[in-house]
């Protein structure tokens, strides 16, 4: 999308100089003269954003730079909030085919005590590649058969995982047991095998185990509150406390209709705050989803339909249908190397009935709201993290160039492996 030119390279050198001069100044600046798409109300023409210490200190038309504050000219440019990918394994997995680079899954069915952010590799090659398309934060999602751990929303910039964390325990990931998996894609890896009877047995056992586990967490809570003698701290059950209290949402992966219904029933029974994840067949369960007010994280729109006889555009029309039904949804990549294509996944839904504004929301403010981090990211508003991009057009279009990208107010380097390979092979002897 953006390849470094000699000019921008000079810019980087200058920026580098600035960094060494006064470190405190790097995430304090005034961006002015651009059209600001705040995603939290009307667009601001000829607007300015004041950033102080990595946070947005003001947004509006009549801002002026306090003395000594660096000014970035945005004339003729657009500003959008940084894109959020609400489902990836970035930082947890580098090359899926190379076992040592994979840290997505722990052995066992109940691993709520695992925290994704602690395992994130800040040096992942996927990070610069992904943010080059305007994605500023991603949900690092552990995966596994049932409860696979706490997913962490991370910024795609930082030297350490502490610096990268937006919210350490964003959601608890639960993969709903499903008979027959999800037809080869999605749940296929975890799908039950064998005859229907065998699968049903496994399914029933998994559901029973899940319910028991939640009950155990409740008993643990009571024992702890009663200071009962012999109370033994347990990391697993401790990690479940915010979940059973309804503070931490459970991200439930349920691809097919039956699994989605099971997930809703389960959430009701256990009184959980749930988010449906990768709910490809959500369009079949819209009434229940709406009546329960459950948000949905959809997978890619540029994908094959689940069923042989589904219409070719089935995944692309789902976002528009959910929107019309009044269901809050985000679109996520559920990928690593293709997280960078998230804006175009959202864009495809526009061609199949989703209003353009809503497509942008599905990868910014909606994702932030669904993940419970709307006070930090997702829009350009005072008090939020200064995550935004300065672009020459609509970020949903491939030809749009990102001029500058800010994460926590830092002007991040847009160079990445793709650029390096591009330069390398452009200069190959002919």
Partner 1 sequence: MKTSFLLPKTLLVLLCAALAGLSAEGPQVFAIRNTRVVRVSGPPIEDGTVVVRDGLIEAVGANVKVPPDAWVIEGKGLTVYPGMIDALSTWGIPGAAPPAAAGGGRRGGGGGPAAPTTPQSVIRGPEDRPSNTSYLKAADQIVAADPSIETGRNAGFTTAATFPNSNIFAGQGVIFDLAGERSGSMIVSPSAGTYIAMRSAGGFGGSFPGSLMGIMAYVHQIYLDADHYKLAKQIYSQHPQGLQRPAYDRTLEGVLESPRVLLPAARAVEVDRMIRFARELNRSAVLYGGDEAWRAVDLLKQSGTPILVSLKWPERSRDADPAAQDSLHTLEMRDKAPGTPGALAKGGVKFAFYTDGLATQQDINRSVKRALDAGLTQADAVRALTLSPAEIYGVSDRLGSIDKGKIANLVVTEGELFQDKTKVKYVFVDGLKFEPAAPAAPARRNTEATQ
| Residue with smaller CB distance to partner 1, 162 or 198 | 198
Is 97 a binding residue for partner 1 by CB under 8 A? The answer is no
Choice between 114 and 182, CB closer to partner 1: 182
Stretch that binds partner 1, among 87-95, 115-123, 189-197, 322-330 (CB under 8 A): 189-197
Closer by beta carbon to partner 1, 204 or else 423: 204
Q: Are 294 and 264 in contact (CB under 8 A)?
A: yes
| Least distance CB 306 / partner 1 (angstroms) | 11
Sheet architecture: strand order including 165-175: 83-88, 135-140, 147-155, 165-175, 250-253, 274-277, 296-298, 329-331
For 416, the token pair is 């990445």
What is the smallest separation between the CB atom of 201 and partner 1, expressed in angstroms?
12
Using CB under 8 A, pick the residue from 193, 197, 399, 430 that binds partner 1.
197
Whose Cβ is closer to partner 1: residue 11's or residue 180's? Answer: 180
Is position 258 an interface residue for partner 1 (rule: CB under 8 A)? yes
Q: Token pair for residue 179? A: 């008979």
Closer to partner 1 by Cβ: residue 179 or 374: 179
Min. distance of Cβ 203 from partner 1 in angstroms? Answer: 11
Contact between 353 and partner 1 by CB under 8 A: the answer reads no
Q: Should residue 265 be labelled a site residue for partner 1 when binding is judged by CB under 8 A?
A: no
194 token code pair: 């064998």
CB of 395 closer than 8 Å to CB of 341: no
- Minimum CB separation of residue 214 from partner 1 in Å reads 26
Q: Of 180 and 353, which has the nearer Cβ to partner 1?
A: 180
Q: 140-179 mask for partner 1 (x: CB under 8 A)?
A: ---------------------------------------x
In whole angstroms, how far apart are CA 24 and each of 11, 40, 65, 142, 300?
19, 29, 16, 35, 40
User: Smallest gap, in angstroms, from Cβ of residue 252 to partner 1?
Assistant: 19
CB of 198 to partner 1, least distance (A): 8
How far apart CA 81 and CA 387 sit, in angstroms, is 6
199 binds partner 1 (CB under 8 A): yes
Strands (E), 114-219: 135-140, 147-155, 165-175
Least distance (Å) between residue 294 CB and partner 1:
22
Q: From 292, 301, 288, select the one nearest 330 (Cα to Cα).
A: 301
Partners of 330 in the beta sheet? Answer: 297
Instruction: Give CA–CA dist 239/170, Å, rounded.
Output: 12
Q: Is 75 exposed, middle or buried (0-12, 13-18, 19+ CB in 10 A)?
A: exposed
Q: To which H or E segment does residue 70 belong?
A: strand 70-73
Is there a contact between 170 and 373 (Cβ–Cβ < 8 Å)? Answer: yes
If the CB atoms of residues 41 and 188 are measured against partner 1, the closer one turns out to be: 188
Residues of span 289-318 touching partner 1 by CB under 8 A: 307-309
Q: Is the dihedral of CA 325, 327, 328, 329 positive or negative?
A: negative
The token pair that represents 30 in the structure block: 């005034």
Cβ-based nearer residue to partner 1, 195 or 293? 195
Q: Which of 33, 58, 180, 305 binds partner 1 (CB under 8 A)?
A: 180
CB 257 to partner 1: min, Å: 9
Q: Are 329 and 361 in contact (CB under 8 A)?
A: no
Q: Minimum Å distance from CB 311 to partner 1?
A: 13
Minimum Å gap between C-beta 336 and partner 1 is 27
Judged by CB, which is closer to partner 1: 39, or 306?
Answer: 306
Q: Which of 182, 330, 340, 191 is nearest to 249 (CA)?
A: 330
**Could you list the residues that contact partner 1 (CB under 8 A)?**
179-180, 195-197, 199, 258, 307-309
């Amino acid at each position: 999308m953006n390849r470094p030119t000699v000019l921008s390279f000079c810019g980087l050198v200058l920026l580098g100089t600035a960094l060494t001069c006064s470190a405190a100044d790097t995430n304090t600046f005034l961006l002015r003269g651009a059209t600001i798409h705040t995603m939290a109300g009307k667009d601001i023409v000829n607007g300015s954003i004041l950033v102080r210490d990595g946070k947005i200190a003001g947004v509006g038309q009549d801002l002026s730079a306090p003395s000594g504050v660096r000014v970035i000219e945005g004339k003729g440019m657009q500003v959008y909030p940084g894109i959020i990918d609400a489902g990836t394994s970035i930082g947890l997995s580098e090359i899926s085919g190379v076992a040592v680079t994979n840290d997505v899954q722990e052995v066992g069915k109940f691993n709520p005590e695992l925290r994704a952010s602690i395992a994130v590799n800040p040096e992942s090659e996927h990070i610069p590649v992904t943010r080059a398309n305007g994605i500023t934060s991603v949900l690092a999602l552990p995966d596994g058969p049932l409860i696979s751990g706490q997913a962490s929303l991370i910024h795609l910039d930082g030297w350490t995982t502490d610096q990268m964390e937006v919210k350490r325990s964003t959601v608890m990931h639960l993969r709903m047991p499903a008979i027959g998996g999800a037809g080869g894609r999605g749940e296929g890896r975890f799908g039950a095998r064998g005859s229907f009877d065998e699968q049903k047995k496994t399914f029933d056992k998994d559901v029973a185990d899940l319910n028991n586990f939640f009950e155990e967490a409740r008993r643990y809570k009571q024992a702890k509150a009663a200071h009962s003698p012999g109370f033994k701290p347990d990391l697993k059950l401790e990690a479940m406390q915010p979940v059973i209290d309804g503070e931490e949402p459970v991200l439930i992966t349920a691809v097919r209709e039956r699994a989605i219904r099971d997930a809703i029933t389960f959430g009701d029974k256990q009184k959980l705050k749930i988010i449906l994840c990768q709910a490809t067949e959500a369009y079949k369960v819209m009434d229940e989803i709406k009546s329960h007010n459950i948000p949905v994280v959809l997978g890619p729109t540029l994908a094959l339909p689940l069923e042989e006889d589904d219409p070719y555009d089935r995944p692309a029309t789902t976002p528009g249908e959910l929107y019309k039904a009044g269901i809050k949804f985000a679109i996520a990549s559920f990928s690593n190397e293709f997280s960078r294509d998230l804006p175009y996944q959202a864009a495809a839904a526009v061609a199949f009935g989703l209003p353009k504004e809503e497509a942008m929301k599905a990868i910014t403010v909606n994702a932030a709201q669904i993940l419970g981090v709307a006070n930090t990211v997702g829009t350009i508003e005072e008090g939020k993290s200064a995550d935004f991009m300065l672009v020459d057009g609509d970020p949903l279009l491939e030809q749009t160039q990102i001029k500058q990208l800010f994460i926590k107010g830092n002007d991040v380097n847009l160079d990445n492996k793709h650029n390096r390979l591009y330069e390398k092979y452009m200069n190959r002897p002919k």
